[in-house]
């Protein structure tokens, strides 16, 4: 079929206008590509999750946790008395930050067991400043974070081991600070205090 020249022009013009519409925002295929994002749902796996869980009795690379002291806070089932690495100022600052995020909601900023969630009806934990807990070893605290403690949830999935030790170090520092006697204050500072 032969179109008249004018008609053919009109036809081309219409086609162009139609093409313009295509440009207005076609957002299908490339927007959702055949790959999974983290935590996306999946029709392929039975449990409907794209993020797979560890297969039982397997160890991920770099996850062979042979250092008992560092990973469990126990040696032969007894909570350790020492830290697996030196406690520096950086460790304490990190510990304070993580304590305020994860522990303060229940244990309070100073560890008195009077955090916001407790005020809203959660079981009240003991203050960290009673004698029993002041004498408790770092391994004991590490164990509570790693395995949970009674009503308290397990934090092992959210806090990596380095941070758990940092939190323990900070709790130990809190206990010292809340129990400081006047005799512990250095002499130079004491003068400052007396002048006030």
Residues near another protein (CB under 8 A) are: 17, 20-21, 23-25, 27, 30-33, 35, 37-39, 41, 47-49, 100-102, 105, 116-117, 120-123, 151, 153, 157-158
Pick the stretch among 12-20, 55-63, 137-145, 183-191 that binds ligand HEC (CB under 6 A).
Answer: 137-145
Q: Considering only CA atoms, which of 168, 30, 186 is closest in space to residue 99?
A: 168
Neighbouring C-beta atoms of residue 111, cutoff 10 Å: 23
Asked if 145 interacts with ligand HEC (CB under 6 A), we say yes
**CB-count burial class (<10 Å; 0-12, 13-18, 19+) for 141:** buried
Q: Considering only CA atoms, which of 67, 97, 99 is closest in space to residue 83?
A: 67
CA angle 189, 172, 167 (to 5 degrees): 120
- Minimum gap (Å) between residue 125 Cβ and ligand HEC: 3
C-alpha distance from residue 35 to each of 26, 51, 173 (Å) = 20, 12, 48
Q: What does 167 bind: another protein, ligand HEC, none (CB cut-off 5 to 8 Å by kind)?
A: ligand HEC
Asked if 151 interacts with ligand HEC (CB under 6 A), we say yes
Q: Please, which residue, 4 or 120, has the CB nearer to ligand HEC?
A: 120
- Minimum gap (Å) between residue 131 Cβ and another protein: 27
Q: Considering only CA atoms, which of 74, 91, 86, 66 is closest in space to residue 141?
A: 74
Q: What does 187 bind: another protein, ligand HEC, none (CB cut-off 5 to 8 Å by kind)?
A: none
Asked if 103 interacts with ligand HEC (CB under 6 A), we say yes
**CB-count burial class (<10 Å; 0-12, 13-18, 19+) for 106:** buried
Q: Please, which residue, 153 or 191, has the CB nearer to another protein?
A: 153
Asked if 117 interacts with ligand HEC (CB under 6 A), we say yes
Q: What is the chain's Cα-based Rg?
A: 31
**Contact set with ligand HEC (CB under 6 A):** 102-103, 105-107, 117, 120, 122-123, 125-126, 133, 141, 144-145, 149-153, 155, 167
């Amino acid at each position: 079929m032969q179109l008249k020249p004018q008609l053919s022009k009109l036809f081309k013009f219409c086609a162009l206008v139609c093409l313009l519409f295509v440009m207005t925002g076609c957002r299908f295929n490339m927007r959702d590509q055949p790959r999974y994002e983290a935590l996306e749902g999946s029709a392929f796996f039975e449990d409907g999750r794209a993020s797979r869980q560890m297969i039982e009795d397997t160890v991920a690379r770099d996850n062979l946790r042979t250092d008992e002291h560092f990973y469990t806070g126990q040696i032969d089932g007894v909570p350790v008395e020492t830290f697996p690495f030196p406690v520096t100022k950086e460790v304490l600052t990190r510990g304070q930050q993580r304590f305020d995020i994860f522990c303060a909601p229940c244990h309070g900023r100073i560890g008195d067991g009077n955090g916001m969630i407790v005020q809203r009806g959660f079981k009240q934990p003991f203050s960290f400043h009673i004698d029993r807990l002041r004498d408790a070893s770092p391994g004991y605290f590490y164990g509570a974070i790693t395995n949970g403690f009674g009503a308290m949830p397990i934090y092992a999935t959210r806090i990596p081991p380095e941070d758990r030790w940092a939190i323990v170090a900070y709790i130990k520092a809190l206990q010292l600070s809340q129990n400081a006697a006047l005799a512990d204050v250095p002499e130079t500072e004491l003068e400052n205090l007396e002048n006030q």
